[in-house]
Amino acid sequence: MGKDTGFLEFEKENIPRRPVAERVSDYKEYDIHFKEADIRQQASRCMDCGIPFCHTGCPLGNMIPDWNDLVYSGRWKEALDMLHSTNNFPEFTGRICPAPCEDSCVLNEYYTLDPGEKSKNKNSVTIEQIEKHIADRGWEEGWIQPIPPKKLTGKKVAIVGSGPAGLAAAQQLRRVGHEVVVFEKEDRIGGLLIYGIPDFKLDKKNVQRREQQMKEEGIVFKTNFNVGKDIGVEELLENFDAILLATGAQHPRKLKVDGSDLKGVHYAMEYLPQQNKTNAGDSLDPDFRISAKGKTAAILGGGFTGADCLGTLNRQKANKKVYQFELVDMIPRPTPVHEEAEMDCRAGILTERLTGDQDGNVSEIHAVQVKWKRENGQMLMERIPHSEFTIKIELLFLALGFLGPTVDGLIERLGVRLSVKGQEALESPEDLLQLLKEKEVMFSIHSNDNFMTNVDGVFAAGDSRRGASLVVWAIWEGREAARCIDQYLMGSSELPSSPQASAII
């Protein structure tokens, strides 16, 4: 413990951010760095608890008090080595993780330096920012270099999907000597890191330099490659000793009301990738380009994807007032982008129907306020009488969450079974598609504790296995799946095991 009174001497400081007027004029990251003296001071606030609950809050089991102490002492390279021992991509999680580790920090229970006044905000150590600073320092100093395997095993692994789960698994498997090929259906590596998360949260250079590092380690990436179409499933099974499905959960929850097929109603994942591609210099067909400039927009959904839509609307110069409605009784979590616009954020709002103009464009949301109550162990929704209202809009973005992986041929051809949440019975892909016609259910690729599906040698990890979740969980899943695959191929594994954290997000 570097400074045993740091948590008593120093307050938690707000994250430095660019001024609102400046950042809404471009797509650069809105957070900026602390000065080195300030971030070291923030690290000194860590109490080095006898039982560090931040470990269990972090799915990866990051050794947080240890690298906090090293940062406070100015031993940045040692801090980086310790951080990399549990996390392949700390510059990702240091930017886009909601920091369950900070929710678990013991300092949240302490009073601020103002006597008798309980802190209204999290009083935790600024763990996420310290993590980001360690990783960024590593790149600046040239400490992050390729780590090619010392020996080769002769085993070949195919990974389908290049999101954080696929990338983490690929790097772990390559470093123990396996030949690894990553197949990605899009034109760039990174999955939702590239096309789902806006640049103002995650500058894409962070993904691209990891891609280059992994190429230099010997990992082969094949983009614009749709497994099941561009390469047959039989060929995949024949040419590889193991397969990992890390395809994500991209089957969207639908808005099932009259008018949901009107022009101007878009899924978030139609909208967000377009802007990221534009930022990357791609030319888009103007007939399909979604632009919010000068338009009144609304967002259904109060999660991180909804906030990503909001930040993009702000930068596209939508009308000043933006509406954001959440069905459950919880106000959308405030984020930096909520500071950027005049917001009408409401919880407990049910959209009943949409209406359009004579040209088929959406023009109004008709909604009602609802309240929730628990009855016989279930949450039930109840309309509040006389609370109906109508709002005029020109664009509506659906950020309602995701039900499970896309069922588009690969899963069926592999013969992999699916698991429906809340049901013990496993579903075949055909049975699931029939079920989805009747009602929306959450589903995932079914696997055992060792990440293997019902098909020998075929594994699953990330959102496709656990359901839509956080990047930090995807990295954990990828690392753990890699260890299980290595053990399957070699009989044992030297890869580290990370016990699953208690944080359930």
In a domain, 498, yes or no: no
**With bands split at pLDDT 50, 70 and 90, how would you rate the model's confidence at 210?**
very high
Same domain, 347 and 422: no
Closest CA to 247 of 88, 461, 432: 461
Same domain, 266 and 391: yes
∠ CA 356-290-286 to the nearest 5 degrees?
A: 115
Same domain, 445 and 483: yes
**What is the arithmetic mean of pLDDT over 397-401?**
97
**With bands split at pLDDT 50, 70 and 90, how would you rate the model's confidence at 114?**
low
Q: How far apart are CA 484 and CA 461, in angstroms?
A: 11
* Number of domains forming the structure of the chain: 3
**With bands split at pLDDT 50, 70 and 90, how would you rate the model's confidence at 502?**
very low
In a domain, 505, yes or no: no
Q: Inform me whether the pLDDT recorded for 60 exceeds 70.
A: yes
Same domain, 358 and 424: no
DSSP 12: P
Same domain, 247 and 259: no
Report how many helices (DSSP H) and strands (DSSP E) the chain contains, helices first.
19, 19
In a domain, 262, yes or no: yes
In a domain, 384, yes or no: yes
Same domain, 392 and 431: no
* Spatial strand order in the sheet of 443-445: 426-427, 418-420, 443-445
In a domain, 495, yes or no: no
Please say which residue of 400, 432, 449 terminates a domain: 400
Which residues constitute the domain of residue 123? Answer: 6-141
**With bands split at pLDDT 50, 70 and 90, how would you rate the model's confidence at 121?**
low
Per-residue pLDDT of 242-292, as tens digits, reads 999 999 999 999 999 999 999 999 999 999 999 999 999 999 999 999 999
Residue listed under structure tokens 């989805």: 436
Please say which residue of 349, 383, 400 terminates a domain: 400
Q: pTM to 2 decimals?
A: 0.94
CATH number where 284 lies: 3.50.50.60
What are the φ/ψ torsions at residue 477 (nearest 5 degrees)? Answer: -60, -45
Same domain, 339 and 451: no
Higher pLDDT, 74 or 55: 74
Per-residue pLDDT of 290-345, as tens digits, reads 999 999 999 999 999 999 999 999 999 999 899 999 999 887 778 999 999 999 99
In a domain, 356, yes or no: yes
**With bands split at pLDDT 50, 70 and 90, how would you rate the model's confidence at 145?**
very high
Q: Inform me whether the pLDDT recorded for 503 exceeds 60.
A: no
Same domain, 267 and 312: yes
**With bands split at pLDDT 50, 70 and 90, how would you rate the model's confidence at 451?**
very high
Q: How far apart are CA 17 and CA 329, in angstroms?
A: 30
Same domain, 392 and 448: no
Same domain, 233 and 294: no
**Alpha-carbon separation of residue 104 from 125, 310, 335 (angstroms):** 10, 28, 20
Q: How far apart are CA 100 and CA 296, in angstroms?
A: 34
3-state secondary structure 217-250: CCCEEECCCCECCCECHHHHHHHCCEEEECCCCC
In a domain, 151, yes or no: no
Please say which residue of 367, 400, 433 terminates a domain: 400
Same domain, 346 and 312: yes
Same domain, 446 and 333: no
